[in-house]
Amino acid sequence: MTNSADENSPPIRRALISVSSKDGLGDFARGLVAAGVELFSTGGTRKFIEGEGLPVRDVSAYTGFPEIMDGRVKTLHPKIHGGILCRHDREDDQRVLAEHGILTFELVVVSLYPFEATVARPDVTDEDAIENIDIGGPSLIRGAAKNHAFTTIVTGTEQYADVLAELKATGKTSYALRRRLAGAAYEHTARYDRAISNYFARELAEGPFPAVLNLVQERRATLRYGENPHQQAAWYVDPRAGSDTLAGAKQLNGKELSYNNLLDLDSALAIARSFGSPAVSVVKHNNPCGAAEHEQLAEALRRAMAGDPVSAFGSVLGFNRTLDRACAEQLAEPGLFVEAIVAPGFEPAAVEILTTKPKWKSNVRLLDVGPLEAQQAMLEYRSVAGGLLVQDRDVLADPEAEWQVVTQKQPTDAQLAELRFAWNLVRHVKSNAIVLTKDRALRGAGAGQMSRVDSVRIAIEKSGSLAKGAALGSDAFFPFPDSIEIAAAAGVTAFIQPGGSKNDADSIAACDQHGLVMIFTGRRHFKH
């Protein structure tokens, strides 16, 4: 649009204000009045403005038609929409205004009924939901946005400052601002309609899966690149995401997050928070190369970093407790390098150490996700060409009551605790997944192999001498006893796996032959 669009823009003489959220409205309205703008409003908004000691005209008094049906109908009137939609450069539109006594509204300020917040309440009734479907508000927004060549539409409190700044400078708004606000307005009403559609779509859903999937994701950042430098990438977040997720995290230090950082941080946090005791995870290329739990967080960190020290260089760490001074001092030791750390809090002394002592002090990303809540069942989405795959996220603990000891030898209490740790961890490793653990610490992992026996060999090689007396967790059943034989030869003493192979009897017989323990969980944990 050329500069003539700004030159022909009308001054803002009148503003129609109808908002459900009054945040920042007092100062905004005062700024409008100070700029000579006449305010028009309805119901609760008008009373609020009056309460601020500001002059405001009642819409019903202007239209000559009262609010009816408990406020369901108040702004749906030609004298309102005509004043919003009129084209200021059209003589015929101006004649219609004069003929019907219609005033122009150059500024429209609207926030809609809180439908999303209402239906999110666990005790919401259908009647409450229906009454929070705004009708007049979206009509005002769409009309003003359509006529953005002349009308300014404001749908968010964060937009107040920009409008006031231009109004004070020129008595009107620029076309560039009006165009931007119009785009934001249409996204605002689109999101609102999607929320309503999702509410009614529950009746057409199959379990948790709606007939039409409407996702609202807001762009958080444009990333430098994706998995590789030649790929463009951006980060989008669900505005409803909890504060204990990456979407709600506060970055305390470091460079901007990369695509791969975000993937690894999400995995590191998921692993650490899956344990009840203090725990630390060490992630590299989206797989754990170290993980441990211990009553002392610093000891859990030491054991986690010792799991695979070579791979831990340049890794991402996840904590399920506040990162304290002792952990920070350990991480600041010479020879260590950490890309990013996510934790439910950082002690001030720990932040001071991590951002001043190591060579990588200015680069390490520190993300504080706040207190961790109990994990809830949720949907996860993965893209395939032309669509999405949707499933329940594999975060809930397995019912241990369903586990079966299938060998002659029974596990000791210590072995059972170790197997529990291994089983909790193996679900976070890419399939085919094998973990060897000892003293509730990951000693070796075999990940992403096409053959399960190859994963076993890799896990044993990573474990070295620590394989002796270790527990082995497998994300799926052993189709042949060869993996049992290889692990037994390395000194593994206990196994946990789903069971379910037609050759289960062979694997059980191999364990019994070597005097080993094996538990069947009845549930697998593939992670592709």
Residue numbers annotated as active site? 146, 285
Is residue 325 within 8 Å of residue 349, measured between CB atoms?
yes
Return phi, psi of residue 421, to 5°. Answer: -65, -45
- CB neighbour class for 367 (10 Å; exposed up to 12, middle 13-18, buried from 19): buried
Nearest to 282 by CA among 295, 294, 267: 267
β-pairing, 218-223 with 434-437? unpaired
Is residue 379 within 8 Å of residue 403, measured between CB atoms?
no
- CB neighbour class for 339 (10 Å; exposed up to 12, middle 13-18, buried from 19): buried
Give Cα separations from 521 to 13, 401, 428, 496, 506 (angstroms).
Answer: 72, 9, 16, 7, 17
Give Cα separations from 149 to 91, 107, 182, 244, 486 (angstroms).
Answer: 16, 12, 10, 42, 75
Is residue 349 within 8 Å of residue 230, measured between CB atoms?
no
Q: Calculate the dihedral angle through the C-alpha atoms of 99, 74, 60, 13, rounding to the nearest 10 degrees.
A: -60
Q: Packing angle between helix 175-201 and helix 136-146, nearest 10 degrees?
A: 150
Give CA 206 to chain center in angstroms.
24
β-pairing, 494-497 with 152-154? unpaired
Q: Packing angle between helix 452-463 and helix 482-490, nearest 10 degrees?
A: 10
Nearest to 12 by CA among 28, 24, 25, 1: 28
Give Cα separations from 461 to 261, 315, 376, 457, 466 (angstroms).
Answer: 27, 20, 36, 6, 10
DSSP codes, 285-323 = TTEEEEEEE-SSHHHHHHHHHHSSHHHHTTEEEEESS-B
Strand partners, 219: 236
298 CB-near residues (< 8 Å, 6+ apart): 324, 326, 327, 330
Query: How many CA atoms lie within 13 Å of 22's alpha carbon, on the beta-carbon side?
Result: 12
